Structure 1
Amino acid sequence: MIFIYNCYGGTHSSSLASAIHLNKLPQDRIPTKSEILNTDYFNKLSCKDMGRIIYRGMDEEGNKVFSLGRGTSRVLLPCLKNLIVLLQQEWNVNEKILLSNMTPTVTLPMTVGGFLSRRLRIDSIGVPLLVMGAQQAYKEIVEVVNFTKESAKTLQEPVLLLLNSRNGRTY
């Protein structure tokens, strides 16, 4: 099985989700500022990394975990799903793939902090906002990761695209 956590830039909520999935961050408490900032790729990717599928590691069950920054594209994930299905059908690839959208977990401080830090390079304001927003969103990120792992257990089709949602709104 392959897990691909995705969001706008692939550097904040997807980085945290990947680290949680791989047990690099705790599930039972909010991580410290240091733990968040030392998470692989957290706040380190740029626009040129969008569309790049980044290997994050192998989980305890031997599943590969990746992350993806998809930008504002609403067609990238359906296109990726269709491409995976095509490759599976044409080359008899049997690996199941689960794409999990982390966008619903992103808080306003994460959005503003990410823009200030990654786009405007104002880390003195952006990074504290990112950390605060990540800590606010953390429990929800853990819930989405756990939901993603549970969904994988009953996966019948070759590719599952989890849109996830917040407050009844699907992204």
Structure 2
Amino acid sequence: MIYIYNDFGGTHTTALAAAYHLKQLPLDRKLTTEEILNVNYFNKLQTSDMGKLIFHGIDEDGHPVYTIGRGSSKVLIPGVKNLSMLLQEKYNIDERIIFSNTSPTVPIAMTFGGLFSRRLKIDSIGVPLLVKGAKQACGNILELVQHTKKLAKSSQEKIVVLENTRFKV
């Protein structure tokens, strides 16, 4: 099974989701500023990284965890899903793929923080907003990851696309 967390930029909620999934963050409390800023790829990717699959690690069950930024594209995930289906059918690949959208967990502070930090390169405004947003969202992100893992284990579909609208902030 392959897990792919996705959102607009692929560097904030997806990075946190991957870190939670890989048990690199505490599960029993809100995150500290230092923990947030030390998450791999958190606020480090550029616009040019959108559309690239970023490998984060192997989970406790031996499954790889990736993230991807979709940008404003509405077709990236359906396109990757269709390509995955084609490869599975043509080459008898038996690997299941789980796409999980982290966008519904993004609070407004994180949206503006990402804009200031990644787009406008004003970290003095953007990073504090990103940290505030991450602290607001960490519970929802953890719940989304737990939901993703549970659904992945219970589903028999070869490819699962989770929009996760129930986690809307």
**Aligned residues, how many?**
169
How far apart, CA to CA, are the structure 2 residues paired with 1:66 and 1:79? 17
Instruction: Name 1:53's counterpart in structure 2.
Output: 53
Instruction: Name 1:99's counterpart in structure 2.
Output: 99
Identity %: 54
Distance 1:166 1:154, change over 3 A: closer
How far apart, CA to CA, are the structure 1 residues paired with 2:43 and 2:167? 26
The CA deviation at 1:167 is 6.7
User: What stretches of structure 2 of length at least 5 have no aligned partner?
Assistant: none
Q: Which amino acid aligns with 2:33?
A: K
The CA deviation at 1:166 is 4.0
| CA-to-aligned-CA distance 1:32-68 (integer Å, 9 cap, x gap) | 0000000000000000000000110000010100000
Distance 1:168 1:118, change over 3 A: closer
Is 1:17 matched with 2:17? Answer: yes
Instruction: Name 2:163's counterpart in structure 1.
Output: 163
How far apart, CA to CA, are the structure 1 residues paired with 2:15 and 2:104? 14
TM-score (norm 1): 0.96
TM-score (norm 2): 0.97
| CA-to-aligned-CA distance 1:106-142 (integer Å, 9 cap, x gap) | 0000000000000111100100000000000110000
Q: Which amino acid aligns with 1:137?
A: A
User: What stretches of structure 1 of length at least 5 have no aligned partner?
Assistant: none
Instruction: Name 2:113's counterpart in structure 1.
Output: 113
- Which range moves more in the overlay, 44-53 or 72-81? 72-81
Runs of 4+ in 1 over 6 A off after TM superposition: none
